[in-house]
Amino acid sequence: MKVTAILLAAGKGERLGASVPKCFLMLAGKPIFMHSFERFFEIADEIALTVPQGYGKQAMLTILKRFDHLKHLDPGKDDEATLESSDKRIRIVRGGKERQDSVERGLRATGHGKVAAVHDTARALVSSATIRKVIERAPAIVAVPAYDTLKQVNKKGVIEGTLDRSKIWHAQTPQAFPTDMLRKAFDRARKKKTRGTDDASLVEKLGVEIAVVAPDGPNMKVTTPDDLRLAEMILSNR
């Protein structure tokens, strides 16, 4: 079964507040996005990597240095590049304004896989086992059950009630769907102007059942400077 991966690295990283876009910061010797890229390279037949404006060339050079059997096609277009070997196709594309726009651009740049996995490369610790598991179960997302007690709080900062924790999961990535299903969900969202903070929220609107699978190993997202230090610590102990 052919697999497409849409790897997101086009965010600014405002909450991290560095001078470089978050996924291009160095983590354990390589840019954050490259950790996920290497994992997906083992598994996907086709990859679209979304990058911030002005970062296409840097992404391309990092990938070419690591996988030197790839050929660089169509040089010259800013931020857009295609890298290819006999059995892989990598598209580097400029991301959109919000995450959802970036996924849409990634989907437009790909088209070979039967299943498409969308992943935030800010989740740099993702394991191959996690990726394989969610693809196998598609439509499915990686998620973790809530461990803390969850309060619903009003605008004044006062508790309104306690949620039933047993039914609450935190959505992570990767999230994998039959590619046709994902396209249908994104087409519908564009027509109806619906926005979602993850991919499943758009696919849910099609009325299909989506499974949750727990990650194998840590799968935290680097959001703040503390997260970056924590990820560095976890990787240095591997």
Positions that interact with ligand CTP (CB under 6 A): 8-15, 22-23, 50, 95-99, 102, 120-122, 221, 223
CB of 227 to ligand CTP, least distance (A): 10
Which of the choices ligand CTP, Mg ion, none does residue 14 contact, using the CB cut-off of 5 to 8 A by kind? ligand CTP
C-beta of residue 87 within 8 angstroms of C-beta of residue 76: no
Using the minimum distance from each CB to Mg ion, give the nearer residue, 9 or 83. 9
Using the minimum distance from each CB to ligand CTP, give the nearer residue, 49 or 185. 49
Residue nearest Mg ion by beta-carbon distance: 11
Structure tokens at 236: 């240095």
Please tell me the distance from the alpha carbon of residue 228 to that of residue 26, in angstroms, as a whole number: 9
Which of the choices Mg ion, ligand CTP, none does residue 82 contact, using the CB cut-off of 5 to 8 A by kind? none
Which of the choices ligand CTP, Mg ion, none does residue 143 contact, using the CB cut-off of 5 to 8 A by kind? none
Structure tokens at 62: 């990092």
Q: Which residues is 30 bridged to in the sheet? A: 27
CB of 162 to ligand CTP, least distance (A): 28
Please tell me the distance from the alpha carbon of residue 220 to that of residue 190, in angstroms, as a whole number: 29
With 0-12 CB in 10 A as exposed, 13-18 as middle and 19+ as buried, what is 181? Answer: middle
Give the C-alpha distances (Å, rounded to integers) separating 146 from 123, 149, 164, 168: 18, 8, 10, 6
Give φ, ψ of 197 to 5 degrees.
-90, -10
Using the minimum distance from each CB to Mg ion, give the nearer residue, 14 or 136. 14
- Evaluated on CA atoms 195, 146, 13, 92, the torsion sign reads negative
CB of 121 to ligand CTP, least distance (A): 5
Question: Which residue shows structure tokens 């059997």?
Answer: 69
Using the minimum distance from each CB to Mg ion, give the nearer residue, 46 or 104. 104
Residue nearest ligand CTP by beta-carbon distance: 11
Position 140, amino acid: A
Residues numbered 9 to 48 that lie near Mg ion (CB under 5 A) are 11
CB of 11 to Mg ion, least distance (A): 5
Question: Which residue shows structure tokens 């405002």?
Answer: 14
CB of 51 to ligand CTP, least distance (A): 8
Interface residues with Mg ion (CB under 5 A) are: 11
